[in-house]
Structure 1
Amino acid sequence: MKDKMTSRWNTYESFHIELGDKKVVDVIITNHARERWQDRIEGEKTGYDDIAKYIWDCLKQGRVAPYYRNEEDVYVIDEDLVFVAEFATSLTETDIIGNPLHQMVVVTFLGRMSETIELRDLKSYYSWLRHSRRMTLVKNSRKRK
């Protein structure tokens, strides 16, 4: 997502923002992420452009940080909003040396830590979810027999 005012740093290199070892040149919002944004974050500005602009502005301001130090798929904005993103190599953009730049594909928004306490420790939250689903399946299978 390039800015309307400045599309390049200079005439040779594409505008990008570094996030860890990735150089992000574009933000892509999936349908699932847009639905989660509407359900869990904000009900008014739910367009793809609105969400992508918000993420891009947060990236520019340095407000996006990895949730865990070692993993690169879960990110936090302002230590509150948790989202999952994947990176794809941009087919059209490269830096001045010829190294590929990346597109950030926002897969889903998990929610705000201030509203959902379970998001403070994602690993225990996911293990709890797996356990509760497994127990539900076990209970349902008992009923069928």
Structure 2
Amino acid sequence: MKDSGMSRYNTYEPFYVELGDKKIADIVITHHARMRWTDRVEQDKTGFSDICSFLWERLKASQIKPYYKKEEEVFLVDDDLVMVVEFGVLEKETDIAGNPLHKMIVVTFLGRMSEMIELRDLKSYYSWLRHSRRMTLIRNSRKRK
């Protein structure tokens, strides 16, 4: 969903917001991200346009930051909400200098750090998650033999 309520001074230059080294001109919400938004973030405004407008406002206000310094996939919104994104290049869209513009594809929302303490350190959380899944698989394989 591109920013629909914008006023441009120059009609030849497309609108974008910089996020790190990327120039975001479009936001795409996956179905999985919408389901996670409903489960973990908010139950009232759950439409794709509601989520996109929320993210556009946060992008414009520079309230979306990388989770780790060199991280390019996990971002913090308002220093609380953790989301996983991918970036794709928009075809036939460039800024006035000819640099490519990107679309931000929101893969999932992990939740709010204020509600889920585990999200404060993602590396240890994911290692714990992998270990617990592996141990569950080992236990189940023992039962089948």
Question: Shared fold (TM-score greater than 0.5)?
Answer: yes
Rounded to whole Å, the distance in 1 between the matches of 2:4 and 2:75 is: 22
Rounded to whole Å, the distance in 1 between the matches of 2:20 and 2:123 is: 21
Rounded to whole Å, the distance in 2 between the matches of 1:3 and 1:47 is: 16
Rounded to whole Å, the distance in 2 between the matches of 1:44 and 1:61 is: 23
Whether the 8 Å contact between 1:36 and 1:110 is mirrored in structure 2 is yes
> Who is 1:54 aligned against?
54
Whether the 8 Å contact between 1:112 and 1:119 is mirrored in structure 2 is yes
> Who is 1:122 aligned against?
122
Gaps of 5+ in 1: none
Rounded to whole Å, the distance in 2 between the matches of 1:63 and 1:132 is: 34
Off by >4 Å, runs of 4+ in structure 1 = none
Rounded to whole Å, the distance in 1 between the matches of 2:46 and 2:58 is: 17
Paired residues, number:
144
Rounded to whole Å, the distance in 1 between the matches of 2:128 and 2:139 is: 16
Gaps of 5+ in 2: none
Identity level (%): 64
Deviation of the 1:93 alpha carbon: 1.7
Whether the 8 Å contact between 1:23 and 1:101 is mirrored in structure 2 is yes
Rounded to whole Å, the distance in 1 between the matches of 2:123 and 2:114 is: 17
Whether the 8 Å contact between 1:9 and 1:15 is mirrored in structure 2 is no
Rounded to whole Å, the distance in 2 between the matches of 1:26 and 1:9 is: 19
Quick check: 1:110 aligned with 2:123?
no
Q: Output the aligned Cα RMSD.
A: 1.0
